[in-house]
Amino acid sequence: MTTKQSLKIRIRKHVGAVAIEHALGGFARVSRLHPRARLSLHGVERIRDVAYRRTGSHAHLLDVYRPIARPIASHLPVVLYVHGGAFRMLSKDSHWLMALAFARRGHLVFNINYRLAPKHRFPAAIEDVCAAYAWVVENAARWGGDATRIVVAGESAGANLVTSLTIATTYHRREPWARAAFDMGVVPRATLPACGMFQVSDPARFARRRKLPAWTAEHIDVCSEGYLPKTAFAAPHGLDLADPLLVFERGDRPLRPLPPFFIIAGTHDPIFDDSRRLHAALGKVGAESELAVYPGEVHAFHALVWRPAARDAWRRMLEFVEKGDADETLSRHETRATLRGLP
């Protein structure tokens, strides 16, 4: 490849990434204008911009979504939500709808920011997610949450991060920030990774499996190139918490039992194969895993909550989370009624 061709590809990748970021961010802003977007209509309040790390950085803030009708001492189940965006874009503000969906169901939700690539490469994002997890375990009770009933959820890059976080809480790792999460002694009661890229290295594997449009393959490359360090880690398995799929595929056994996983994926998602592999690998290490496959659906389709497939995905995900809590479980009819009012 000539220097001119290489420069042309780099420019095209950059322009594509910027276009996607503006499109997704614009969609999130417009959705806030919907008549049903006002949180009070759903019986939910939001406490904005709570610091989970004392750095003064906007990247280390979270929002708390809380059911208004529940008393502070109500011991609510907790959700830590980690947004997607190829590790390089979006925020807690763009993912308010996901937090609302859980909060109106009766969960106390902590919707976080974290440092973004390419300015902050691996392991910055997962280090922040581990710090947020430890903070939530220590502070959930302030808002009426029960930290022993914490669920971790995220989509796309967020799916990778909550899967890596789950490894940090169940395997003894050498990284100090991962050990800090492990030392909290609290394992998530469920992990919900939707439409995830569970191995950030070797992004070309998707194109090897099936032919992809050039812009799609380039966007996957941008995700990997922006997140991973330019030089490989010298330590063995140094990229494990960027490639959590490979931990499970090696068959490494955790020191603590893994929580059950509920994985969502659409077959028209170019990274669909990672969800299939993750489901199979979790079985290899003895973990409970349910894979919900939606034929013809695209990446992060569950964000399009007006569509039947998205509503079914949310119904199944919420029922999976609540199946162990008889006092919190609603009937299928009630679940659909809960989702019907979402903007």
Confidence class for position 46, pLDDT limits 50, 70, 90: very high
Which among 5-14, 91-100, 221-230 has the top mean pLDDT? 91-100
Residue 16 has a pLDDT of 45
Confidence class for position 161, pLDDT limits 50, 70, 90: very high
State the burial class of residue 93 (Cβ atoms within 10 Å of its Cβ: 0-12, 13-18, 19+). middle
Q: Please count the CA atoms within 13 angstroms of the CA of 63 that sit on its side-chain side.
A: 20
**Mean pLDDT computed over every residue of the chain:** 87
Quote the CA–CA distance of 240 and 175 in Å, as a whole number. Answer: 11
Q: 289 has which bridge partners?
A: 261
* CATH placement of domain 9-340: 3.40.50.1820
DSSP letter at 105 equals T
Quote the CA–CA distance of 292 and 249 in Å, as a whole number. Answer: 20
Q: How distant, in Å, are the alpha carbons of 39, 111, 171, 227 from that of 25?
A: 19, 16, 35, 20
What's the whole-number mean pLDDT along residues 241-266?
A: 97
Quote the CA–CA distance of 321 and 300 in Å, as a whole number. Answer: 19
Quote the CA–CA distance of 296 and 108 in Å, as a whole number. Answer: 33
Residue 235 has a pLDDT of 67
Closest CA to 242 of 207, 197, 194, 183: 197
